[in-house]
Amino acid sequence: MGVDIGTSTTKVLVIDEQGEPLAKASREYPISAPCPSHAEQNAEWWWNATIECMREVLRKDRVNPNEIIAIGLSGQMHGTVLLGRDLKPLRPAIIWADRRSSAQCTRFYEIVGRKKVLDIICNPAMPGFMGPTLLWVKENEPRIFRETRKVLLPKDYVRLQLTGSLGTDISDASATLLFDVRRRGWSSCLSSQLGFPDDLFPEIFDSVSVAGELATGALGLPRGIPVVAGGGDSLVGAVGCGVIREGVVSSNIGTGGQVFVTLDNFRVDRQHRVHTFCHAVPGKWCLQGAILSAGLSLRWFRDSMGDAEKSEANEGNIDPYDLLSKEAESAEPGCNGLVFLPYLLGERSPHMDPEARGGFFGLTFQHRKAHMVRAIMEGVAYALRDCLVVFQDLGVTPKKIIARGGGARSPLWRQIQADIFNVEITRTRVEEEAAYGAALLAGVGAGVYSDLEEACAKTVQVASTDSPNNDRVKLYDSYYHSIYRKLYPALRGFWPKTANDIS
């Protein structure tokens, strides 16, 4: 059983030893924004969604609860769950999309030093990551900070409820900004400099290691089932689509977006444009370029301007995103000069700018809704291409790209990626890659597979391939270089005042 605690949805998936999906379930929950720059979730939302999903899959005809031999976990990265002495949350969890800790990121560099950040953390200090978030809590909610006994990442809170055991895995921990990525352990010198007690952080496991046993019978499963440590959703999703060897890249369009490549040997971008994390594959690292508003950009459009599609979808039991995608097919590539910047939450790779803002450029009276939807799809792909350019600067040239996440379900969005990246795009047969990867981790932890190489070889299968179209490649290449790449530096000076006015 694989459990994925996503940003907007928890998914549970049960597979057999050949990787065949037997049952799945999902539950949505909101993101709370008590202030414009804040993003929080109640940790109990994740746990309640997990309970409901697990009970639902166990009622399916193809699933026998007594045949579940292990559980794996995946979850949204960077978030901060603060637990008191009773191991209950002291406040809502502050998640990756939160931007309140911008000032703490500056202080983070002042306290730690830029060289140490590069040498130890190997990642830029950005809002929403655990390190700056904890610094914000320490400075702004001192009582909460004093009462905090443990800090967990989102999926680890769910595992605590399942097993009663505290812990995290090496992949998720490496993305906290409190971790020595090169040496693969918590950095006591960083904690000391920042004024964080060493015992605040949980024990670390490899992603395939058993980190506890199921301790509750309330889910309809026998007690004692091993629960593996799991990993961050981006890294576990890469496992779920077979991105475990160097040179193969995954392009994920979920709520956020990532391009991801496995590294056999440690490598870091000294300009801090992309991230270096420990992979969920034991002994390996990865490069990751992350954008904050990928599928979220389309969700924003759906919620703000997609009432007609939502109404039609409800009447016909259709996904409104399928209707938007179909509408976008009627717009020509390049959208008659309409370009979308997907910086709705600021931006991470490659700009690392929390004050960046999104927008449409080139809008005219002739543009219709179809153009706007397609421009969003193209803008997200341009932003991901920015990350691939950094990979190439670091000597990583994609041999093939595997599309995953909700965006991979859209044939149009896959083709747009193939044309903008000018690389063949493949898609695996399973859409819930993070939950699927979590199930594979569980299989290795339970001894069903000897390692993840065997697990992926036996289970991951290609479902489709999209090849670049030469004419569209040339068109998109022109738009990318002559317009998209020039918009960020041209507009950067205007955003700080805008950011101050609304936050």
* DSSP states of 212-233: EE---STTSS-TT-EEE--EEH
Reported as type and span, the H/E element at residue 390 is: helix 369-393
Radius of gyration (C-alpha) of the chain in whole angstroms: 22
Q: Which of 375, 377, 343, 380 is nearest to 362 (CA)?
A: 375
Ramachandran angles phi, psi of 174, nearest 5°: -70, -10
* DSSP states of 277-307: EE-SSTT-EEEEEEES-SHHHHHHHHHHH-H
* Distance, CA of 104 to CA of 332 (rounded, Å): 44
Q: How far is CA 276 from CA 19, 24, 113, in A?
A: 29, 32, 18
Pairing outcome for strands 81-83 and 150-152 = antiparallel
State the catalytic residues. Answer: 233
Token pair 């804040």 in the structure block, residue: 38
Ramachandran angles phi, psi of 340, nearest 5°: -110, 130
Q: Is 334 helix (H, G, I), strand (E, B) or coil?
A: coil
Per DSSP, helices labelled H in 121-232 are 130-140, 142-147, 154-163, 170-173, 188-194
Residue 274 CB-half CA count within 13 A: 27
Reading phi first (left if > 0) and then psi (alpha if -120 to 50, else beta), residue 134 is in alpha
Q: Which of 130, 129, 203 is nearest to 168 (CA)?
A: 203
* DSSP states of 13-72: EEE-TT--EEEEEEEE---B-SSTT--EE-HHHHHHHHHHHHHHHHTSTT--GGG---BE
Reported as type and span, the H/E element at residue 444 is: helix 433-445
Q: Are 449 and 407 in contact (CB under 8 A)?
A: no
